[in-house]
Protein backbone atom coordinates (compact mmCIF):
# COMPACT_ATOMS: atom_id res chain seq x y z
CA UNK A 1 0.00 0.00 0.00
CA UNK A 2 1.04 3.64 -0.24
CA UNK A 3 1.19 4.39 3.48
CA UNK A 4 -1.54 2.68 5.46
CA UNK A 5 -2.69 -0.91 5.77
CA UNK A 6 -5.90 -2.09 7.43
CA UNK A 7 -5.57 -4.22 10.55
CA UNK A 8 -4.94 -7.87 9.83
CA UNK A 9 -8.24 -9.79 9.93
CA UNK A 10 -8.53 -13.47 10.87
CA UNK A 11 -11.42 -15.88 11.23
CA UNK A 12 -12.24 -17.03 14.78
CA UNK A 13 -14.14 -20.22 15.56
CA UNK A 14 -14.03 -20.44 19.36
CA UNK A 15 -16.47 -19.33 22.04
CA UNK A 16 -17.55 -15.74 21.51
CA UNK A 17 -17.40 -14.76 25.18
CA UNK A 18 -15.20 -17.26 27.01
CA UNK A 19 -11.87 -16.58 25.31
CA UNK A 20 -8.58 -14.72 25.69
CA UNK A 21 -9.70 -11.49 24.01
CA UNK A 22 -9.59 -8.43 26.23
CA UNK A 23 -12.01 -6.51 23.98
CA UNK A 24 -15.13 -7.95 22.32
CA UNK A 25 -17.62 -6.08 20.14
CA UNK A 26 -21.18 -7.28 20.73
CA UNK A 27 -23.84 -6.58 18.05
CA UNK A 28 -27.34 -5.69 19.22
CA UNK A 29 -30.42 -5.52 16.99
CA UNK A 30 -33.81 -4.08 17.77
CA UNK A 31 -37.08 -5.95 17.21
CA UNK A 32 -40.28 -3.96 17.03
CA UNK A 33 -38.43 -0.94 18.39
CA UNK A 34 -37.17 -2.81 21.46
CA UNK A 35 -33.63 -3.94 22.21
CA UNK A 36 -33.34 -7.64 21.41
CA UNK A 37 -31.31 -9.33 24.14
CA UNK A 38 -30.69 -12.60 22.37
CA UNK A 39 -27.94 -14.51 20.59
CA UNK A 40 -24.50 -12.98 21.19
CA UNK A 41 -25.98 -10.11 23.21
CA UNK A 42 -27.71 -12.52 25.60
CA UNK A 43 -24.48 -14.47 26.18
CA UNK A 44 -22.58 -11.24 26.81
CA UNK A 45 -25.19 -10.02 29.28
CA UNK A 46 -25.00 -13.30 31.16
CA UNK A 47 -21.21 -13.00 31.31
CA UNK A 48 -21.62 -9.45 32.67
CA UNK A 49 -24.09 -10.61 35.35
CA UNK A 50 -27.03 -8.73 33.82
CA UNK A 51 -25.30 -5.36 33.63
CA UNK A 52 -26.39 -4.89 30.02
CA UNK A 53 -30.07 -5.43 30.89
CA UNK A 54 -29.72 -2.96 33.75
CA UNK A 55 -28.27 -0.36 31.37
CA UNK A 56 -31.24 -0.83 29.05
CA UNK A 57 -33.72 -0.47 31.91
CA UNK A 58 -31.98 2.75 32.97
CA UNK A 59 -32.28 4.12 29.43
CA UNK A 60 -28.52 4.00 28.81
CA UNK A 61 -28.81 1.93 25.63
CA UNK A 62 -31.62 1.87 23.07
CA UNK A 63 -30.11 -0.11 20.22
CA UNK A 64 -30.03 2.77 17.76
CA UNK A 65 -27.66 2.46 14.80
CA UNK A 66 -24.03 3.08 15.84
CA UNK A 67 -25.00 3.64 19.49
CA UNK A 68 -22.39 2.16 21.82
CA UNK A 69 -22.17 1.07 25.45
CA UNK A 70 -18.98 -0.12 27.14
CA UNK A 71 -19.11 -2.53 30.06
CA UNK A 72 -15.92 -3.46 31.92
CA UNK A 73 -16.16 -6.84 33.63
CA UNK A 74 -13.93 -9.81 34.49
CA UNK A 75 -10.87 -8.28 32.86
CA UNK A 76 -12.71 -7.67 29.57
CA UNK A 77 -14.22 -4.74 27.70
CA UNK A 78 -17.60 -5.60 26.19
CA UNK A 79 -18.50 -2.97 23.62
CA UNK A 80 -22.19 -3.27 22.75
CA UNK A 81 -23.11 -1.59 19.47
CA UNK A 82 -26.58 -0.93 18.09
CA UNK A 83 -27.53 -2.18 14.62
CA UNK A 84 -31.04 -0.80 14.43
CA UNK A 85 -34.10 -2.79 13.38
CA UNK A 86 -33.56 -6.38 12.31
CA UNK A 87 -36.56 -6.06 10.00
CA UNK A 88 -35.11 -3.07 8.10
CA UNK A 89 -34.76 -3.30 4.33
CA UNK A 90 -31.64 -5.07 3.08
CA UNK A 91 -29.95 -1.90 1.77
CA UNK A 92 -30.60 -0.11 5.05
CA UNK A 93 -29.21 -3.03 7.03
CA UNK A 94 -26.04 -3.07 4.93
CA UNK A 95 -25.46 0.58 5.78
CA UNK A 96 -26.32 -0.03 9.43
CA UNK A 97 -23.69 -2.77 9.61
CA UNK A 98 -21.03 -0.51 8.09
CA UNK A 99 -21.85 2.38 10.40
CA UNK A 100 -22.09 0.32 13.58
CA UNK A 101 -18.89 -1.67 13.13
CA UNK A 102 -17.05 1.48 12.05
CA UNK A 103 -18.01 3.20 15.30
CA UNK A 104 -16.90 0.14 17.26
CA UNK A 105 -13.48 -0.03 15.61
CA UNK A 106 -13.07 3.73 15.87
CA UNK A 107 -13.55 3.46 19.62
CA UNK A 108 -10.94 0.73 19.86
CA UNK A 109 -8.31 1.81 17.33
CA UNK A 110 -5.98 3.20 19.98
CA UNK A 111 -5.76 -0.16 21.73
CA UNK A 112 -2.87 -2.51 21.03
CA UNK A 113 -4.95 -5.49 22.17
CA UNK A 114 -6.41 -8.01 19.75
CA UNK A 115 -10.13 -7.37 19.25
CA UNK A 116 -12.90 -9.83 18.49
CA UNK A 117 -15.80 -8.46 16.48
CA UNK A 118 -18.78 -10.74 16.96
CA UNK A 119 -21.34 -11.15 14.18
CA UNK A 120 -24.59 -13.08 14.43
CA UNK A 121 -24.07 -16.33 12.54
CA UNK A 122 -27.56 -16.35 11.00
CA UNK A 123 -26.93 -13.21 8.95
CA UNK A 124 -26.52 -13.26 5.16
CA UNK A 125 -23.00 -13.23 3.72
CA UNK A 126 -23.26 -9.69 2.38
CA UNK A 127 -24.19 -8.33 5.82
CA UNK A 128 -21.22 -10.14 7.36
CA UNK A 129 -18.95 -8.70 4.66
CA UNK A 130 -20.14 -5.16 5.33
CA UNK A 131 -19.46 -5.62 9.04
CA UNK A 132 -15.82 -6.34 8.23
CA UNK A 133 -15.61 -3.47 5.76
CA UNK A 134 -17.16 -1.07 8.26
CA UNK A 135 -14.73 -2.13 10.99
CA UNK A 136 -11.71 -1.73 8.73
CA UNK A 137 -12.78 1.62 7.31
CA UNK A 138 -13.60 2.91 10.78
CA UNK A 139 -10.07 2.15 11.96
CA UNK A 140 -8.42 4.16 9.16
CA UNK A 141 -6.02 6.93 10.14
CA UNK A 142 -3.47 8.59 7.86
CA UNK A 143 -0.59 9.03 10.28
CA UNK A 144 2.35 8.80 7.88
CA UNK A 145 3.00 12.51 8.35
CA UNK A 146 2.39 12.67 12.12
CA UNK A 147 5.19 12.44 14.65
CA UNK A 148 2.90 10.83 17.20
CA UNK A 149 1.07 7.74 15.99
CA UNK A 150 -2.11 7.05 17.97
CA UNK A 151 -3.59 4.15 16.03
CA UNK A 152 -2.38 0.85 17.47
CA UNK A 153 -5.09 -1.59 16.40
CA UNK A 154 -3.23 -4.09 14.23
CA UNK A 155 -5.05 -7.41 14.63
CA UNK A 156 -8.78 -8.13 14.64
CA UNK A 157 -10.90 -11.28 14.49
CA UNK A 158 -14.39 -12.05 13.21
CA UNK A 159 -16.42 -15.21 13.83
CA UNK A 160 -17.24 -15.52 10.13
CA UNK A 161 -16.01 -17.45 7.11
CA UNK A 162 -12.51 -16.78 5.74
CA UNK A 163 -13.73 -16.23 2.18
CA UNK A 164 -15.99 -13.39 3.34
CA UNK A 165 -13.11 -11.86 5.28
CA UNK A 166 -10.81 -12.10 2.25
CA UNK A 167 -13.29 -10.28 0.00
CA UNK A 168 -13.98 -7.57 2.57
CA UNK A 169 -10.27 -7.05 3.19
CA UNK A 170 -9.54 -6.64 -0.53
CA UNK A 171 -12.25 -4.00 -0.80
CA UNK A 172 -11.08 -2.17 2.31
CA UNK A 173 -7.49 -2.18 1.02
CA UNK A 174 -8.69 -0.49 -2.17
CA UNK A 175 -10.41 2.22 -0.14
CA UNK A 176 -7.33 2.67 2.06
CA UNK A 177 -5.18 3.10 -1.04
CA UNK A 178 -7.59 5.65 -2.51
CA UNK A 179 -7.69 7.59 0.77
CA UNK A 180 -3.92 7.59 1.12
CA UNK A 181 -3.37 8.84 -2.42
CA UNK A 182 -6.17 11.41 -2.44
CA UNK A 183 -5.00 12.93 0.83
CA UNK A 184 -1.25 12.75 0.22
CA UNK A 185 0.41 16.20 0.13
CA UNK A 186 1.50 17.39 -3.32
CA UNK A 187 5.18 17.44 -2.39
CA UNK A 188 4.89 13.75 -1.54
CA UNK A 189 3.04 12.65 -4.70
CA UNK A 190 4.27 14.46 -7.78
CA UNK A 191 3.55 12.82 -11.16
CA UNK A 192 6.96 11.15 -11.26
CA UNK A 193 6.78 10.01 -7.62
CA UNK A 194 3.29 8.65 -8.25
CA UNK A 195 4.60 6.52 -11.09
CA UNK A 196 7.35 5.06 -8.91
CA UNK A 197 4.96 4.36 -6.03
CA UNK A 198 2.48 2.60 -8.30
CA UNK A 199 5.18 0.50 -9.97
CA UNK A 200 6.40 -0.61 -6.55
CA UNK A 201 2.85 -1.31 -5.38
CA UNK A 202 2.02 -3.71 -8.23
CA UNK A 203 5.45 -5.23 -8.78
CA UNK A 204 5.21 -8.96 -9.33
CA UNK A 205 1.42 -9.19 -9.25
CA UNK A 206 -0.09 -11.67 -11.69
CA UNK A 207 -1.73 -10.46 -14.94
CA UNK A 208 -0.77 -6.80 -14.31
CA UNK A 209 0.99 -4.58 -16.85
CA UNK A 210 2.01 -0.95 -16.31
CA UNK A 211 2.75 1.51 -19.10
CA UNK A 212 3.95 5.08 -18.55
CA UNK A 213 4.11 7.98 -20.98
CA UNK A 214 6.54 10.64 -19.79
CA UNK A 215 6.49 14.26 -20.91
CA UNK A 216 8.46 13.60 -24.08
CA UNK A 217 6.12 10.73 -25.00
CA UNK A 218 3.05 12.88 -24.35
CA UNK A 219 4.35 15.65 -26.61
CA UNK A 220 5.34 13.24 -29.39
CA UNK A 221 2.05 11.33 -29.26
CA UNK A 222 -0.05 14.49 -29.31
CA UNK A 223 -1.65 14.48 -25.85
CA UNK A 224 -2.22 18.22 -26.06
CA UNK A 225 -4.60 18.44 -23.13
CA UNK A 226 -2.33 16.67 -20.64
CA UNK A 227 0.77 18.50 -21.89
CA UNK A 228 -0.86 21.94 -21.74
CA UNK A 229 -2.22 21.55 -18.21
CA UNK A 230 1.02 20.19 -16.79
CA UNK A 231 3.71 22.15 -18.63
CA UNK A 232 3.66 25.11 -16.22
CA UNK A 233 5.20 22.98 -13.47
CA UNK A 234 8.87 22.00 -13.25
CA UNK A 235 7.51 18.55 -12.40
CA UNK A 236 6.10 17.50 -15.78
CA UNK A 237 2.97 15.40 -16.37
CA UNK A 238 2.73 11.65 -16.91
CA UNK A 239 0.07 9.32 -18.26
CA UNK A 240 -0.07 6.14 -16.18
CA UNK A 241 -1.84 3.15 -17.75
CA UNK A 242 -2.51 -0.01 -15.70
CA UNK A 243 -3.81 -3.17 -17.35
CA UNK A 244 -5.19 -6.27 -15.70
CA UNK A 245 -5.83 -9.35 -17.84
CA UNK A 246 -8.16 -11.56 -15.84
CA UNK A 247 -10.58 -12.36 -18.64
CA UNK A 248 -10.33 -13.97 -22.05
CA UNK A 249 -7.52 -12.86 -24.35
CA UNK A 250 -10.00 -11.72 -26.99
CA UNK A 251 -12.20 -9.85 -24.51
CA UNK A 252 -12.17 -6.06 -24.68
CA UNK A 253 -11.31 -4.15 -21.53
CA UNK A 254 -13.50 -2.04 -19.32
CA UNK A 255 -11.71 1.31 -18.93
CA UNK A 256 -11.70 3.45 -15.79
CA UNK A 257 -10.27 6.94 -16.19
CA UNK A 258 -9.50 9.02 -13.10
CA UNK A 259 -8.69 12.72 -12.93
CA UNK A 260 -5.26 12.87 -11.31
CA UNK A 261 -4.42 16.54 -10.85
CA UNK A 262 -1.99 16.18 -7.96
CA UNK A 263 -2.43 19.85 -7.17
CA UNK A 264 -4.67 22.44 -8.81
CA UNK A 265 -3.92 26.11 -8.25
CA UNK A 266 -6.24 27.09 -11.09
CA UNK A 267 -3.27 28.00 -13.27
CA UNK A 268 -3.31 31.53 -14.69
CA UNK A 269 -6.97 31.74 -13.62
CA UNK A 270 -5.71 31.38 -10.05
CA UNK A 271 -8.14 30.11 -7.44
CA UNK A 272 -8.90 32.28 -4.38
CA UNK A 273 -6.75 31.35 -1.39
CA UNK A 274 -9.58 29.75 0.60
CA UNK A 275 -10.11 27.23 -2.21
CA UNK A 276 -6.50 26.09 -2.51
CA UNK A 277 -5.99 23.93 0.56
CA UNK A 278 -8.28 21.09 -0.50
CA UNK A 279 -6.72 20.89 -3.95
CA UNK A 280 -4.33 18.16 -2.87
CA UNK A 281 -7.44 15.99 -3.23
CA UNK A 282 -8.02 17.01 -6.85
CA UNK A 283 -6.44 13.63 -7.60
CA UNK A 284 -9.30 11.81 -5.84
CA UNK A 285 -10.71 10.46 -9.11
CA UNK A 286 -7.39 8.88 -10.03
CA UNK A 287 -6.99 7.66 -6.46
CA UNK A 288 -10.35 5.89 -6.63
CA UNK A 289 -9.49 4.37 -10.02
CA UNK A 290 -6.27 3.03 -8.52
CA UNK A 291 -8.11 1.65 -5.49
CA UNK A 292 -10.62 -0.10 -7.74
CA UNK A 293 -7.79 -1.61 -9.77
CA UNK A 294 -6.08 -2.88 -6.62
CA UNK A 295 -9.25 -4.60 -5.39
CA UNK A 296 -10.01 -6.16 -8.79
CA UNK A 297 -6.49 -7.60 -8.91
CA UNK A 298 -6.68 -8.84 -5.30
CA UNK A 299 -10.00 -10.54 -5.98
CA UNK A 300 -8.73 -12.02 -9.28
CA UNK A 301 -12.00 -11.09 -10.96
CA UNK A 302 -12.51 -12.70 -14.40
CA UNK A 303 -12.39 -9.61 -16.62
CA UNK A 304 -9.98 -7.32 -18.40
CA UNK A 305 -9.70 -3.79 -17.07
CA UNK A 306 -7.52 -0.81 -17.89
CA UNK A 307 -7.06 2.23 -15.66
CA UNK A 308 -5.79 5.53 -17.04
CA UNK A 309 -4.41 8.20 -14.70
CA UNK A 310 -3.35 11.44 -16.44
CA UNK A 311 -1.21 13.00 -13.69
CA UNK A 312 -0.34 16.70 -13.78
CA UNK A 313 0.23 19.76 -11.60
CA UNK A 314 -1.69 22.87 -12.65
CA UNK A 315 0.28 25.93 -11.54
CA UNK A 316 1.03 29.35 -13.06
CA UNK A 317 4.48 30.07 -14.44
CA UNK A 318 6.16 31.51 -17.51
CA UNK A 319 5.49 28.26 -19.35
CA UNK A 320 1.87 27.77 -18.28
CA UNK A 321 -0.93 27.46 -20.75
CA UNK A 322 -2.97 30.62 -21.14
CA UNK A 323 -6.56 31.73 -21.55
CA UNK A 324 -7.23 31.94 -25.31
CA UNK A 325 -4.66 29.25 -26.14
CA UNK A 326 -5.92 26.75 -28.71
CA UNK A 327 -4.90 23.18 -27.88
CA UNK A 328 -4.81 20.29 -30.33
CA UNK A 329 -6.08 17.29 -28.38
CA UNK A 330 -5.00 13.67 -28.90
CA UNK A 331 -7.97 12.94 -31.16
CA UNK A 332 -7.39 16.06 -33.28
CA UNK A 333 -10.04 18.31 -31.72
CA UNK A 334 -8.97 21.93 -31.25
CA UNK A 335 -9.99 23.27 -27.85
CA UNK A 336 -9.95 26.99 -27.14
CA UNK A 337 -9.06 27.71 -23.51
CA UNK A 338 -11.54 30.01 -21.81
CA UNK A 339 -10.46 29.10 -18.28
CA UNK A 340 -7.24 27.41 -17.13
CA UNK A 341 -9.07 26.28 -13.98
CA UNK A 342 -11.18 23.96 -16.15
CA UNK A 343 -8.08 21.80 -16.52
CA UNK A 344 -9.35 18.40 -15.40
CA UNK A 345 -11.60 17.99 -18.39
CA UNK A 346 -8.64 18.60 -20.71
CA UNK A 347 -6.53 15.84 -19.19
CA UNK A 348 -9.54 13.52 -19.01
CA UNK A 349 -10.50 14.21 -22.63
CA UNK A 350 -7.14 13.00 -23.90
CA UNK A 351 -7.32 9.88 -21.73
CA UNK A 352 -10.95 9.16 -22.68
CA UNK A 353 -10.24 9.45 -26.39
CA UNK A 354 -7.19 7.21 -26.05
CA UNK A 355 -9.21 4.60 -24.14
CA UNK A 356 -11.97 4.71 -26.75
CA UNK A 357 -9.92 4.72 -29.96
CA UNK A 358 -6.47 3.31 -29.25
CA UNK A 359 -7.39 0.80 -26.52
CA UNK A 360 -10.85 0.10 -27.98
CA UNK A 361 -12.43 -0.22 -24.54
CA UNK A 362 -15.84 -1.88 -24.50
CA UNK A 363 -17.08 0.56 -21.85
CA UNK A 364 -15.65 3.63 -20.14
CA UNK A 365 -16.20 5.02 -16.66
CA UNK A 366 -14.54 8.22 -15.52
CA UNK A 367 -14.31 9.77 -12.07
CA UNK A 368 -13.33 13.35 -11.38
CA UNK A 369 -13.53 16.07 -8.78
CA UNK A 370 -14.61 18.09 -11.76
CA UNK A 371 -17.00 20.92 -10.97
CA UNK A 372 -18.03 23.10 -8.09
CA UNK A 373 -21.46 23.03 -9.72
CA UNK A 374 -21.93 19.34 -8.84
CA UNK A 375 -20.86 20.03 -5.26
CA UNK A 376 -23.24 23.01 -4.97
CA UNK A 377 -26.12 20.99 -6.43
CA UNK A 378 -25.71 17.78 -4.42
CA UNK A 379 -23.56 18.66 -1.41
CA UNK A 380 -20.68 16.74 0.17
CA UNK A 381 -22.24 13.26 0.28
CA UNK A 382 -23.67 12.71 -3.21
CA UNK A 383 -21.90 12.39 -6.57
CA UNK A 384 -23.47 13.42 -9.85
CA UNK A 385 -23.46 10.89 -12.64
CA UNK A 386 -24.17 11.16 -16.34
CA UNK A 387 -24.85 8.55 -18.99
CA UNK A 388 -27.07 8.04 -22.02
CA UNK A 389 -27.09 4.28 -21.56
CA UNK A 390 -30.11 3.13 -19.54
CA UNK A 391 -28.66 -0.30 -18.84
CA UNK A 392 -25.47 1.21 -17.42
CA UNK A 393 -27.57 3.61 -15.39
CA UNK A 394 -29.51 0.73 -13.84
CA UNK A 395 -26.28 -1.10 -13.02
CA UNK A 396 -24.60 1.88 -11.36
CA UNK A 397 -27.76 2.75 -9.42
CA UNK A 398 -28.03 -0.81 -8.12
CA UNK A 399 -24.37 -0.75 -7.08
CA UNK A 400 -24.92 2.56 -5.31
CA UNK A 401 -27.79 1.20 -3.25
CA UNK A 402 -25.77 -1.79 -2.14
CA UNK A 403 -22.51 0.05 -1.45
CA UNK A 404 -24.18 3.01 0.25
CA UNK A 405 -22.15 5.47 -1.86
CA UNK A 406 -24.78 7.92 -3.04
CA UNK A 407 -25.17 9.14 -6.62
CA UNK A 408 -27.75 11.16 -8.51
CA UNK A 409 -28.30 11.26 -12.25
CA UNK A 410 -28.12 14.62 -14.01
CA UNK A 411 -29.14 15.17 -17.64
CA UNK A 412 -26.95 15.47 -20.70
CA UNK A 413 -28.90 18.41 -22.15
CA UNK A 414 -28.11 18.58 -25.87
CA UNK A 415 -29.25 22.17 -26.33
CA UNK A 416 -26.30 23.30 -24.16
CA UNK A 417 -23.87 21.96 -26.75
CA UNK A 418 -24.35 25.16 -28.79
CA UNK A 419 -22.44 27.05 -26.11
CA UNK A 420 -19.18 25.27 -26.95
CA UNK A 421 -18.84 26.70 -30.44
CA UNK A 422 -20.23 30.10 -29.43
CA UNK A 423 -17.49 30.48 -26.83
CA UNK A 424 -14.77 29.32 -29.26
CA UNK A 425 -14.46 31.77 -32.18
CA UNK A 426 -11.06 30.31 -33.14
CA UNK A 427 -11.09 26.65 -32.06
CA UNK A 428 -13.61 23.83 -32.44
CA UNK A 429 -14.93 24.07 -28.88
CA UNK A 430 -14.26 25.92 -25.65
CA UNK A 431 -13.21 24.10 -22.51
CA UNK A 432 -15.54 26.04 -20.18
CA UNK A 433 -18.70 27.77 -21.29
CA UNK A 434 -21.03 28.68 -18.40
CA UNK A 435 -21.35 28.75 -14.61
CA UNK A 436 -25.03 27.87 -14.79
CA UNK A 437 -25.35 24.15 -15.44
CA UNK A 438 -21.58 23.82 -15.11
CA UNK A 439 -21.63 20.13 -14.19
CA UNK A 440 -23.76 19.38 -17.23
CA UNK A 441 -21.64 21.34 -19.70
CA UNK A 442 -18.48 19.73 -18.28
CA UNK A 443 -20.02 16.30 -18.87
CA UNK A 444 -21.04 17.28 -22.40
CA UNK A 445 -17.46 18.37 -23.07
CA UNK A 446 -16.16 14.95 -21.97
CA UNK A 447 -18.81 13.13 -23.98
CA UNK A 448 -17.31 14.55 -27.17
CA UNK A 449 -14.19 12.44 -26.56
CA UNK A 450 -15.70 9.00 -25.90
CA UNK A 451 -16.32 8.37 -29.61
CA UNK A 452 -19.56 6.48 -29.20
CA UNK A 453 -18.47 4.08 -26.45
CA UNK A 454 -20.87 3.19 -23.58
CA UNK A 455 -19.90 5.65 -20.87
CA UNK A 456 -20.60 6.82 -17.32
CA UNK A 457 -19.19 10.06 -15.96
CA UNK A 458 -19.04 10.47 -12.17
CA UNK A 459 -18.50 14.01 -10.92
CA UNK A 460 -17.34 13.37 -7.36
CA UNK A 461 -16.46 16.98 -6.48
CA UNK A 462 -18.34 16.86 -3.16
CA UNK A 463 -17.79 13.37 -1.73
CA UNK A 464 -14.46 12.92 -3.48
CA UNK A 465 -12.85 15.71 -1.48
CA UNK A 466 -15.03 15.22 1.58
CA UNK A 467 -13.64 18.02 3.74
CA UNK A 468 -17.01 19.73 4.28
CA UNK A 469 -18.88 16.51 5.12
CA UNK A 470 -18.13 16.85 8.84
CA UNK A 471 -21.17 16.04 10.94
CA UNK A 472 -23.00 14.65 7.90
CA UNK A 473 -20.86 11.75 6.75
CA UNK A 474 -21.34 8.14 7.83
CA UNK A 475 -19.11 6.89 10.62
CA UNK A 476 -16.86 4.92 8.28
CA UNK A 477 -15.63 8.11 6.55
CA UNK A 478 -12.46 9.69 7.99
CA UNK A 479 -12.92 13.09 9.58
CA UNK A 480 -12.38 16.09 7.33
CA UNK A 481 -10.43 14.43 4.51
CA UNK A 482 -11.12 12.53 1.29
CA UNK A 483 -12.92 9.23 2.04
CA UNK A 484 -11.93 7.22 -1.04
CA UNK A 485 -15.40 7.69 -2.49
CA UNK A 486 -16.33 5.43 -5.39
CA UNK A 487 -14.10 2.42 -4.75
CA UNK A 488 -16.84 0.30 -3.20
CA UNK A 489 -19.37 1.61 -5.72
CA UNK A 490 -17.33 0.58 -8.75
CA UNK A 491 -16.13 -2.70 -7.30
CA UNK A 492 -19.77 -3.65 -6.71
CA UNK A 493 -20.66 -2.47 -10.22
CA UNK A 494 -17.84 -4.47 -11.83
CA UNK A 495 -18.50 -7.58 -9.72
CA UNK A 496 -22.13 -7.58 -10.83
CA UNK A 497 -21.05 -7.30 -14.46
CA UNK A 498 -18.73 -10.30 -14.17
CA UNK A 499 -21.54 -12.34 -12.65
CA UNK A 500 -23.91 -11.23 -15.43
CA UNK A 501 -21.44 -12.22 -18.14
Residues noted as catalytic: 271, 345
284-299 and 487-500 helices cross at what angle (nearest 10)? 40
In three-state secondary structure terms, 38 is: coil
Kindly state the helix (H) or strand (E) to which residue 230 belongs, with its residue range. Answer: helix 224-230
- Check if the beta carbon of residue 284 is closer than 8 Å to that of residue 311: no
Nearest alpha-carbon partner for 351 in 465, 266, 227, 454: 227
Q: What are the angstrom distances between the C-alpha of 229 and each of 67, 311, 321?
A: 48, 10, 7
Distance separating the N- and C-terminal Cα atoms of the chain: 31
d(CA 294, CA 297) in angstroms, rounded, equals 5
- Check if the beta carbon of residue 440 is closer than 8 Å to that of residue 376: no
d(CA 405, CA 133) in angstroms, rounded, equals 13
Give the max Cα distance, the chain. 81
Kindly state the helix (H) or strand (E) to which residue 18 belongs, with its residue range. Answer: none
Phi-psi region of 166 (alpha: psi -120 to 50; beta: other; left: phi over 0): alpha
Residues forming beta bridges with residue 255, ordered by sequence position:
306, 364
Kindly state the helix (H) or strand (E) to which residue 100 belongs, with its residue range. Answer: helix 90-108
Amino acid sequence: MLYTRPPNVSSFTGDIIENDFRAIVIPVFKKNNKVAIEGVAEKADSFANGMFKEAIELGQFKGEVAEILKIFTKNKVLLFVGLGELSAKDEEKLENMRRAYAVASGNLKETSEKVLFAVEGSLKADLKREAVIGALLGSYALEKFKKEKKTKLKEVYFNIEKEIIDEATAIAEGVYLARDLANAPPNEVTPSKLVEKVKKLFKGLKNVEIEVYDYKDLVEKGFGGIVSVGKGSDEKPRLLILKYKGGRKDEKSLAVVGKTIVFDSGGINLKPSQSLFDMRADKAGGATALGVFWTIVRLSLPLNIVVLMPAAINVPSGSSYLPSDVIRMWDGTYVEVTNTDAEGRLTLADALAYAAKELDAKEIIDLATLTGAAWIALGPLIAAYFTRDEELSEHITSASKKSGEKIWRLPLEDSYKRLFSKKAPVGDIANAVARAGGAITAALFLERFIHGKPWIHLDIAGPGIGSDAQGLAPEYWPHGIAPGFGVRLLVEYIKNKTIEN
